[in-house]
């Protein structure tokens, strides 16, 4: 049996292609049914996210299975095969195992270390389990993928550095204040970046969130989301002495906070530190404010610098993660190989034993041999069969530890015309 992956991602296909072949997460029964109905596919899982669509499969005929899966993907979504094929990638065997482990560990994501992909794969596996399209191999493998992802997060720092501007702002605030539990945050503007940053601040346990916006209704709406307080835009400066952290993103053509005003505010605060994050372009806060004692002002370029530095750190940690995956691949591949080796050895022994018994019966019936002769012939032929089996059996056992071990298994099955092991035969090997 071979593991297969067929798919496309943000690395190979633009969003207009990815959206055409995306599967609805609430309607997976039918595509999974159709996938498993392909005669070269024995097991299947469909992973569909905004950045990737991947089909995980198990097959005895990987080349035929990949071709069938390509046509299935195109036909199910009514996309021209020729337009789709150039964006597809595929992996077989060990390469497929490595790819899925890397995806689950977030090494293949747009942002290395992001946590969402693991949850998305678990959801995909949940559907395959519900609709019984994941069998012995994919069940075992997906649990392996989950444990590898956990090892990567536990044993490396791949997810420990902020790599979004909004989260980098929160991380900087934590460095300045040590803890945020008693801090008040003011959001100037109510756009997406402010909203994301607010979520991060809330998760860090800030005491209060204040929101101001030129459109007061928008400020009220965002404040309500975070159980905060809306402040009229024309009055927000009067509240600044109560604020420890300011995040501004208004899109205004001029400064909404001048250095002179912030100098007054810091006096009212009796020089308690203030952290100001200006992610607007053009900038909302006059840069000269950074020269005021106990004012810590960062603009979007500063934050991008933090993000880039953190991304470099994540890439360093990714090398440690790849080493973990190498070890885990070898362990899983050895288990997968035993699924074919043991049934093949049993089938080979049974085939030769059946031949031996048939020929012994012919010989004995023609000789009319006594018990002593019969026993001697039985012992002789059993010894011959055991000697004949010794070398191929040893070779097959060694082959399960080799990357190309399946070549030997397939060769023995072809040479002796052995039947493929039944599904229940494989289950007994688990």
* 307 pLDDT more than 80: no
Q: What angle do CA 78, 82, 87 make, to 5 degrees?
A: 95
Report the mean per-residue pLDDT for the chain.
87
- 132 shares a domain with 25: yes
- Over the stretch 76-93, which tens digit does the pLDDT of each residue have? 999 999 999 999 999 998
268 inside domain: yes
358 CB-near residues (< 8 Å, 6+ apart) = none
Instruction: Tell me: do 154 and 169 sit in the same domain.
Output: no
| Range in 130-139, 237-246, 420-429 with the lowest mean pLDDT | 420-429
Q: Which residue, of 300, 320, 348, is where some domain finishes? A: 300
Are 14 and 121 members of one domain?
Answer: yes
- Which CATH number belongs to the domain containing residue 296 in this structure? 3.40.50.720
**Judgement on whether residues 95 and 116 belong to the same structural domain of the protein:** yes
Residue with tokens 């591949």: 333
Range(s) of the domain holding residue 135: 2-161
The distance of Cα 44 from the centroid of its chain, to the nearest Å, equals 17
Same domain, 142 and 178: no
Tally Cβ neighbours within 10 Å of residue 354.
Answer: 10
Residues 149 and 175 in one domain: no
CATH number at residue 29: 3.30.460.30
Does residue 31 lie in a domain region? yes
**Could you give the CA distance from residue 62 to residue 76 in angstroms, rounded to a whole number?**
20
Tokens of 349: 């022994």
Query: How many Cα neighbours within 13 Å face the side chain of 75?
Result: 10
- Both 121 and 191 in one domain: the answer is no
| Element at 186 (helix H, strand E) | strand 184-188
Catalytically annotated residue among 15, 37, 50, 355 = 50
pLDDT tens, residue by residue, 384-429: 999 999 888 888 877 766 666 667 777 887 888 887 655 444 444 4
pLDDT for residue 253 is more than 50: yes
Same structural domain for residues 24 and 155? yes
Scanning 368-420, the segments in alpha helix (DSSP H) are 371-399, 405-415
Identify the pLDDT of residue 37: 97
User: What's the total number of domains in the chain?
Assistant: 3
Coil vs helix vs strand at 138:
helix
pLDDT given for residue 423 in this prediction = 42
Query: 361 and 235: one domain?
Result: no
Q: What does the pLDDT read at residue 98?
A: 93
109: alpha, beta or left? (left if phi > 0; alpha if psi -120 to 50): beta
Q: Average pLDDT of 215-235? A: 92
User: 242 pLDDT band (50/70/90 cuts)?
Assistant: very high
| Structure confidence at residue 393 (pLDDT) | 86
Closest-CA residue to 430 (of 136, 48, 122): 136
What is the C-alpha separation between 275 and 62, in angstroms, rounded?
58
Q: Kindly state whether residue 138 falls inside one of the protein's structural domains.
A: yes
User: Per mean pLDDT, which range of 153-162, 172-181, 274-283, 361-370 is the poorest?
Assistant: 153-162
Residue 57, pLDDT above cutoff 90: yes
Q: Are 165 and 247 in contact (CB under 8 A)?
A: no
**172 in the same domain as 156:** no
Residue 414: CB atoms within 10 Å = 9
Q: Pick the residue with more confidence: 104 or 335?
A: 104
Largest Cα separation within the chain, whole Å, is: 119
Higher pLDDT, 399 or 263: 263
Would you state the pLDDT for residue 428? 40
SS3 of 272, please?
coil
Decide if 194 is catalytic. Answer: no
Task: Read off the pLDDT of each residue in 204-218 and give the average, rounded to a whole number.
Answer: 92
What kind and span of H or E run contains 203? helix 192-203
Residue-wise burial string across 25-52, b where 16 or more C-beta atoms lie within 10 A, e elsewhere: eeebeebbeebbebebbbbbbbbbbebb
In a domain, 325, yes or no: no
Q: What angle, rounded to 10 degrees, do the helices at 116-130 and 136-155 form?
A: 160
The answer to whether the beta carbons of residues 165 and 195 sit under 8 Å apart is no
Q: How far apart are CA 402 and CA 398, in angstroms?
A: 7
Residue 150 and residue 45 share a domain: yes
390 is written with which tokens? 């010794």
Residue 289 to residue 295: CA distance in whole angstroms: 7
Q: Which of 246-260, 322-336, 363-377 has the highest mean pLDDT?
A: 246-260
């Amino acid at each position: 049996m071979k593991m297969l992956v067929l798919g496309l991602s943000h690395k190979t296909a633009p969003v207009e292609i990815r959206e055409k072949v995306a599967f609805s997460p609430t309607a997976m029964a039918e595509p999974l049914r159709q996938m498993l109905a392909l005669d070269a596919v024995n097991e299947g899982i469909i992973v569909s996210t905004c950045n990737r669509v991947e089909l995980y499969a198990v097959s005895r005929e990987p080349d035929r299975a990949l071709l069938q899966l390509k046509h299935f993907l195109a036909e199910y979504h009514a996309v021209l095969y020729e337009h789709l094929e150039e964006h597809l990638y595929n992996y077989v065997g060990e390469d497929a195992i490595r790819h899925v482990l890397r995806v689950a560990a977030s090494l293949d994501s747009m942002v290395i270390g992001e946590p969402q992909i693991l949850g998305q794969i678990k959801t995909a596996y949940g559907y395959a389990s519900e609709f019984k399209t994941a069998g012995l191999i994919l069940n075992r493998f997906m649990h392996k993928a989950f444990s590898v992802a956990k090892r990567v997060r536990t044993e490396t720092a791949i997810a420990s550095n902020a790599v979004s501007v909004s989260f980098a702002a929160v991380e900087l605030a934590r460095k300045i204040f040590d803890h945020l539990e008693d801090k008040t945050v003011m959001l100037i503007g109510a756009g997406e970046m402010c909203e994301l940053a607010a979520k991060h601040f809330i998760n860090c346990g800030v005491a209060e969130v204040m929101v101001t916006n030129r459109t007061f209704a928008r400020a009220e709406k965002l404040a309500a989301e975070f159980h905060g307080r809306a402040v009229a835009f024309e009055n927000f400066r009067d509240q600044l002495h109560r604020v420890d952290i300011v995040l501004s993103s208004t899109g205004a053509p001029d400064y909404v906070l001048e250095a002179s005003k912030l100098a007054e505010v810091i006096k009212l605060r009796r020089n308690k530190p203030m952290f100001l994050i200006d992610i607007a372009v053009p900038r909302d806060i006059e840069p000269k404010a950074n020269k005021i004692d106990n004012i810590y002002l960062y603009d979007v370029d500063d934050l991008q610098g933090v993000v880039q530095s953190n991304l470099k750190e994540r890439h360093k940690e990714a090398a440690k993660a790849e080493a973990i995956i190498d070890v885990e691949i070898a362990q899983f591949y050895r288990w997968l190989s035993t699924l074919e080796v043991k049934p093949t050895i049993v089938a080979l022994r049974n085939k030769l034993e059946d031949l031996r018994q048939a020929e012994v019966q012919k010989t004995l019936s023609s000789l009319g041999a006594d018990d002593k002769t019969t026993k001697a012939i039985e012992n002789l032929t059993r010894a011959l069969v055991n000697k004949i089996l010794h070398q191929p059996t040893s070779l097959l056992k060694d082959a399960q530890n080799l990357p190309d071990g399946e070549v030997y298994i397939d060769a023995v099955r072809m040479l002796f015309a052995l039947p493929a092991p039944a599904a229940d035969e494989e289950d007994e090997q688990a």
